[in-house]
Structure 1
Amino acid sequence: MGKLSEAAVFYAKFAGKVLPEAYRQRSLAREELRQCLPVSPVRRDTIQEDSFTGRFSVKKACCFLFSMCPGTDARDMLSFVLSLHSIDEYLEMYRKKKDIRDEKEIRDLLGCLSAAVDPSAKLSCKLPDAGMRCQAEQSKNRKVAMCQAEQCRLKLAVLPSYRHVASVVGKYMQMYIEMQSYRHYPAIISTDLLRTWSSVYLKRFQDISWWELCAASDTFLGISAMFAAASVADITEEEVLLLDEFCFPWLSGLCSLLDSLISARMSLNAEELNFSSFYKNLRECEERLIFFAENAESACRRLKGSSLYLLITKAAAGLYVSDPEACFGMLRLAILNMISKTSLRLHRNAGLLLRTFRLL
């Protein structure tokens, strides 16, 4: 099968099967969550309507791409990805509502995410103490997070090769939580904390900057890839190692930096760190994105089934560069240069079609 035909089949499956199934799984998750909360009536904000309505973000859609890997049960994987993102969104909403910025409190809050990807650990979702009048609401909030965490754990526990990827998944989640615990201080403080935190990891990843490592940590892409890998009964340790090298920092960094760059103009919170803002200028950012794309492709070629992983890489980038926000001002020129130098034109057009048909 030629590359064009292979890409056509890939996108037809993504548009015709994966995304519709993802919307169906989201509806099912909403009903399951309602059943999980016996108290009636359930307040609308308790189940966080935003997680169950509207079109999917590119960040989630990129994770969905791994459901097309051989041996992966698409329904289970999509359900897992949706539940994991929903927990994260719910806890972030809670953090903002309570204005939680302390490192330890954030670690405690996000401990629920850690338990969600570790079926062997005790399931615990701690929320900061509330006053007596808020205890009933707090109990319900904790129940919401625990219900969704349990869904994640059940999906992971039955994967035939989860034991082979468990340590990598745990590493990705640990880095995600650590990075989040430092990023919500005032910018001057959080920058110093993140720089110090990342220095330990940069001894291994010497080709990237501290903010690029932070960006690579700020995504569930690697966890999604490992879920798909764990669906294969006879996967080897070497295959897991090569997949880890592909996902982190290259694929995760590429997608997370694209997300930061393209969302910068519309960011509603000027205090939130945007990792693309640490580059000297847009040209440097463009060059580094190309660097990440090239390294992701190079690492991809060492994988078993490399042609599919290469399609996933280019499709993920294509979903970002087809975002309407990528068409403004000087950013448009940088994105067009990147598309040209990394052969993304076909994949950008595919992303535009998905948006035209309102699938994203």
Structure 2
Amino acid sequence: MRNNVPTSSITLLKSLQSKIFPAVEKELIYWKAKATAIPNQELRDQALASIDSKKFHCQGGAVYALLAGERNREAIKFIVAYQTISDYLDNLCDRSTSLDPADFRLLHESLFCALDPDQQTQNYYALREDQNDNGYLHDLVRTCQVQLALVERHVAKPFLNRLVSLYTDLQVHKHVDIRERVPRLENWFKEEKEDDELAWYEFAAASGSTLTVFCLVSYLLGGKLDEPKAKSIFEGYFPYLQGLHIMLDYYIDQKEDVEAEDLNFCFYYPNEEKMSQRLSLFIQKAAEQVQPLPDSSFHQMIRQGLVGLYLADPKVKYLFDETNLKKHLLKTSGTNARLFHLFTKLYYKMRK
């Protein structure tokens, strides 16, 4: 893979199709084989389900490997392993019967460990009945650690720790007993909020993205990160680009979340018009905040790619007023968003 960071949508799409997706597929085949060998049925089922249903998370996240230069393969290994941990734990928390916040927090200690090669793994299942995963979660964690051990990490450490801390808090609060979720999330927002422009559910959404972690780690592996740059990336991505990412994810999941009675942050907008206005604001704010970053055209394409990718999902056609909202958000995002939207629709057609 060439070291140059793509600056146009065509070169980015070519890199995705010819280099990124095949490498991600190879990693996922490896992890699926590991998941299939998990002895405990519940852990095995959730590990396999997370890979089968959330593969596109790894595919999308792996675009950041293009920032890692000669170590792009190492970046893909890290991104796929880290995202697989995240999706697996999300499934375990979603299907929990105990609804125990201490259990959820212990599970997510694995993400802190994945970002620190000096940290020893532990039994992350200690507070739940299902235990034997044949080393699956530990192997995922160690894969992340091995890639990070290749580079000096201290410049990114405070930002990575902040991101995983926010992510863990979100996962704990949103998976407890349904009666406790909103009060816990609202109180957490009051304690954490740094931006009065956000509602509590928008802050929560911004905390749920892994994009900034992948961006920082890829730049680290490429040897192109110092502390000022790490700080600018954190501030460029959080909260608006990360918030846009997860709000779009929730937007396309509305129908199934109603049926499953799952928490969905889009439900807290008073109406469709307000949601459209706020998503447009996130698009505009994200554009402003990533513009000063190095490789700014790449980061702008990430923003446009998110909009194009999510709005091309087949689930969108089942949503209320989807045509008007889709047209509005694609127009707000710019020409590249339409191109990514078309590419994604073609990709879905080819998969059938």
TM over 0.5: yes
Query: How much has 1:91 moved relative to structure 2?
Result: 3.0
Query: How much has 1:213 moved relative to structure 2?
Result: 0.7
1:253–1:44 Cα change, 3 Å = closer
Q: Among residues 183, 191, 199, which one is paired with 1:209 in the alignment?
A: 199
1:169–1:224 Cα change, 3 Å = same
- Is 1:352 equivalent to 2:345 in the alignment? yes
The answer as to whether partners of 1:186 and 1:271 remain within 8 angstroms in 2 is no
Match of 1:232 in 2: 222
The answer as to whether partners of 1:125 and 1:145 remain within 8 angstroms in 2 is no
Query: How much has 1:43 moved relative to structure 2?
Result: 6.8
1:125-166 deviation line (CA, Å, top 9, x unaligned): 3214567xxxxx62x2272211111111111221x3422112
Give aligned-pair identity as a percent: 19
Match of 2:326 in 1: 335
Matched residue count: 343
Query: How much has 1:277 moved relative to structure 2?
Result: 0.8
- Is 1:182 equivalent to 2:184 in the alignment? no
Match of 1:164 in 2: 155
- Is 1:145 equivalent to 2:137 in the alignment? yes
Describe the SS at the equivalent of 1:170: helix
Match of 2:107 in 1: 109
What is the letter of the counterpart of residue 322 of structure 2? L
Matches of 2:168 and 2:278, distance apart in 1: 25
What is the letter of the counterpart of residue 178 of structure 1? D
Matches of 1:44 and 1:56, distance apart in 2: 20
What is the letter of the counterpart of residue 255 of structure 1? H
Matches of 1:60 and 1:98, distance apart in 2: 24
In structure 1, stretches of 5+ residues that fail to align are 132-136
What is the letter of the counterpart of residue 144 of structure 1? Y
1:6-48 deviation line (CA, Å, top 9, x unaligned): 21111111112111111012123345678xx7x9x89796383
Match of 1:134 in 2: none
Match of 2:55 in 1: 56
The answer as to whether partners of 1:260 and 1:276 remain within 8 angstroms in 2 is yes
Query: How much has 1:171 moved relative to structure 2?
Result: 1.0
1:293–1:209 Cα change, 3 Å = same
Q: Among residues 82, 85, 91, which one is paired with 2:83 in the alignment?
A: 85
Match of 1:313 in 2: 303
Matches of 1:161 and 1:352, distance apart in 2: 40
Query: How much has 1:275 moved relative to structure 2?
Result: 0.7
In structure 2, stretches of 5+ residues that fail to align are 1-5
The answer as to whether partners of 1:179 and 1:218 remain within 8 angstroms in 2 is yes
Match of 1:29 in 2: 31
Matches of 1:55 and 1:179, distance apart in 2: 19
- Is 1:262 equivalent to 2:252 in the alignment? yes
Query: How much has 1:119 moved relative to structure 2?
Result: 1.7
Describe the SS at the equivalent of 2:124: coil
Match of 1:304 in 2: 294
Query: How much has 1:339 moved relative to structure 2?
Result: 0.8
Describe the SS at the equivalent of 2:121: coil
Deviates more, 1:41-50 or 1:227-236: 41-50
Aligned-CA RMSD value: 2.7
Query: How much has 1:321 moved relative to structure 2?
Result: 1.2
Deviates more, 1:295-304 or 1:335-344: 335-344
The answer as to whether partners of 1:117 and 1:169 remain within 8 angstroms in 2 is yes
